[in-house]
Amino acid sequence: MEYKRLKDKVAIITGGATGVLGKVMGIGGATAWAFVEQGAKVIIADIDQENGYLTASQINQKTNSVNTASFMKVDVKTETDWEHLISYTESEFGKIDILVHAAGKAIAGDIDKTQVGQWDEMMDIHSKGVFLGTKCVIPVMRKSEHGSIVIVSSIDSHVGGSGTAYSAAKGSGRTFAKVSAIQLAKDNIRVNSIHPGYTDTPLSRKLVAEITSDGSPDPRIPRIPLGRVAHSDEIAKLILFLASDESSYITGTEVIIDGGVTSQ
């Protein structure tokens, strides 16, 4: 019998609507597929209703199931959306084992070029959203006396760059993971953050297209010692490890997965 690393686990993944087959997947979407392949039930939480339903439908078709994957339209910036998501998941599955904060958006710009609205949006998604989701899921995880929360941050939380608001917001997730890990350790709830470098996702492709619109080469490649960007499924494998019992003694840790960029 094949061993399933997440057998009977229930996971919520924000930003999971980027898992449509035949398209470049985002980290959340690739994570949804990685989880179900290892026996988990997944709830995809995203504002993209069309692709969210499509991702869930394709997962269910592949697994010959009607409820391996579910979709809920969720704005991570909104507390009531989180409350409804957590309530639905607990009532449907009786527990929540894993929460992956993978929802994201990027805005570039130096400090003097960044608008207050842009700053607020980045903080709302990457900082407030992570706080709200974690706060709402804690009571359910406490009932089960276990849980794993993975925050998808970025190497931009470790190094400076032109993404003022994005970097600051991602940096808050890095610190929040450590604070949460200490506070929740007594409940056997683990919290870790991961910090991907340049990754081939729908979002990054859009940003690179803007940068190279004049025909200039991709500026990222010369900065990567391994000479290529990451695939989203490579990031998903790290999230899978941190979500599984294989990492049962890992909490409050930040894991960089960047092809060597920050080692220079």
Q: Which residues are catalytic?
A: 166
Q: Kindly give, in sequence order, each residue whose CB lies less than 8 Å from that of residue 49, ignoring residues fewer than 6 positions away.
A: 17, 71, 73
b vs e for 73-112, b when ≥16 Cβ sit within 10 Å of the residue's Cβ? bbbbbebebbeebbeebbeebeebbbbbbbbbebbbeeee
d(CA 194, CA 238): 8
Classify residue 39 as exposed, middle or buried by CB count within 10 Å of its CB (0-12, 13-18, 19+): middle
Coil, strand or helix at 152: strand
**Contact call for residues 69 and 59 (beta carbons, < 8 A):** yes
State the number of CA atoms in the 13 A half-sphere of 264 facing the CB. Answer: 11
How far CA 69 is from CA of 88, 165, 168, in Å, comes to 13, 33, 33
**Contact call for residues 13 and 42 (beta carbons, < 8 A):** yes
d(CA 10, CA 97): 5
**Which residue shows structure tokens 């993978």?**
102
State the number of CA atoms in the 13 A half-sphere of 187 facing the CB. Answer: 21
